[in-house]
Amino acid sequence: MKAMEEKILTCGQVLPGNVLKVGNFLNQQLDVDFLTEVGKEIARLYDGVGVTKIITIEASGIAIAVMAAQAMHVPCVIVKKHSSANQSKDLYTAEIASFTHGNTYTAAVAKEYINSNDNILIVDDFLACGNAIIGMKKIIDDAGAKLAGCAIAIEKCFQNGGNSLRASGIRVESLAMIKSMSENFVEFVKP
Ligand code: 5GP
């Protein structure tokens, strides 16, 4: 998606540790008009494959997941990183190593929100090493549901998570694919 690449070039900032800051439009501040188009593009990519539900992980995947869910007219389920008092005890869980925080956390979702007849699309803001997606896939597998594929706003291809997911047969669609990046420089994979 050319508009995603342009947004990264105009608003993104490369931080130490291979982190791309996109707080200006995707994380802390949301460019809602732009994200509406992102949602429509995800819906276009996965049109006709019978997606019944979108799943994402809190917090920064929520915005595009909601936009995609609106465009596809399906519910959006949010996997929680933190337990809360009003959360069900009947959970699907996965241990996930966090790329940005350097720790491991238990992601959880109440069993009532995923059914074995669901065909689920995973949506997230970034794909780096693939741990968040592998964790969400475990939850989908544990529920006996089907994984339709993944839709990612920004894939950092040099971190190889996307390649190993594709090699294992999972459909991964990334709206911007970064080949390399350094301070003041971002290079995209050529189509
Ligand atoms: P992975 O699990 O694929 O290694 O990392 C994906 C998760 O880490 C995403 O859910 C995202 O929140 C976070 N993440 C990974 N790389 C970046 C990055 O460069 N910038 C930001 N803002 N988040 C990232």
Tens of pLDDT, residues 142-169: 999 999 999 999 999 999 999 999 999 9
Q: pLDDT for 52-100, tens place per residue?
A: 999 999 999 999 999 999 999 999 999 999 777 677 789 999 999 998 8
Mean pLDDT taken over the chain = 96
Q: Tell me the H-state helices in 121-179.
A: 131-142, 161-167
- Going by pLDDT thresholds of 50, 70 and 90, the confidence category of residue 105 is very high
Looking at the CA of residue 135, tell me the nearest atom of ligand 1. Answer: 2
For range 129-144, the mean pLDDT: 98
Question: How do 91-97 and 172-182 pair as beta strands?
Answer: unpaired
**What are the tens digits of pLDDT across the range 32-49?**
999 999 999 999 999 999
CA torsion, points 153, 24, 156, 185, in degrees to nearest 10? 140
Percent of the chain exceeding pLDDT 70 equals 99
Q: Is the CB of 115 under 6 A from ligand 1?
A: no
pTM of the model: 0.97
**Between the CA of residue 174 and those of 94, 115, 126, 156, what are the distances in Å?**
23, 26, 9, 10
Out of 4, 11, 60, 99, give the residue to mutate to test ligand 1, the one with the largest number of ligand atoms within 8 Å of its CB.
99
Question: What is the model's pLDDT at position 85?
Answer: 66
CB 94 within 8 A of CB 106: yes
Strand partners, 149: 121
Sign of CA dihedral 24, 26, 28, 32: positive
CA angle 60, 11, 99 (to 5 degrees): 35
Residue 101: its pLDDT value, please?
86
Instruction: Give the whole-angstrom CA distance, residue 161 versus residue 165.
Output: 6
At residue 38, the pLDDT reads 98
Q: How far is the CA of 74 from the centre of ligand 1 (A)?
A: 25
Amino acid identity of 61? G
Q: How many CB atoms lie within 10 A of CB 141?
A: 13
C-alpha 55 to ligand 1 mean position (Å) = 16
